[in-house]
Amino acid sequence: MPPERLALYGLHQNDTGSASDHFPKVTDFIIPVVTQVAENLPDGVVDFAITPNPFFSQVRIRLLHSQMNEWEASVFNIAGQLVHHRNTTAREVAFETAGWPSGIYFIKILAGEKVLTKMVVKQ
């Protein structure tokens, strides 16, 4: 790509070795690497277990370490669309997932003012 064209994007000739004049946009990706996950949970927060993961026709969510009487679980697909939602007072809930397409889903738990999200996979 000519230098004046790169300048339109705020780039210089040697910014990236993978830029091409055949693409309408020049993009560099920086992908962070997670090396550890904190185990400390804020005071009063819940944790939850998901079984099985990956799942096929049913996924179970079990509330752990919580004094909350009421909580809600929301399931979102990879596009961020709400797939399922349930308010409950039970310690464990099961979602029938036979009609869901295979892929990655995010389960968000809201208990009081605390929110936790975990990723699951449907095969």
Question: What CATH number labels 47-122?
Answer: 2.60.40.3080
pLDDT of residue 91: 85
CA-nearest of 116, 119, 96, 122 to 46 is 116
56-115 tens-digit pLDDT: 999 999 888 666 778 899 999 999 999 999 998 888 899 999 999 999 999 998 887 788
Predicted model pTM: 0.61
pLDDT at 70: 85
Q: CA 104, 105, 107: angle at the middle one, nearest 5?
A: 150
Look at residue 47 and tell me whether its pLDDT is greater than 90.
Answer: no
Domain spans of the chain, in order of start: 1-31, 47-122
23: pLDDT strictly greater than 90:
no
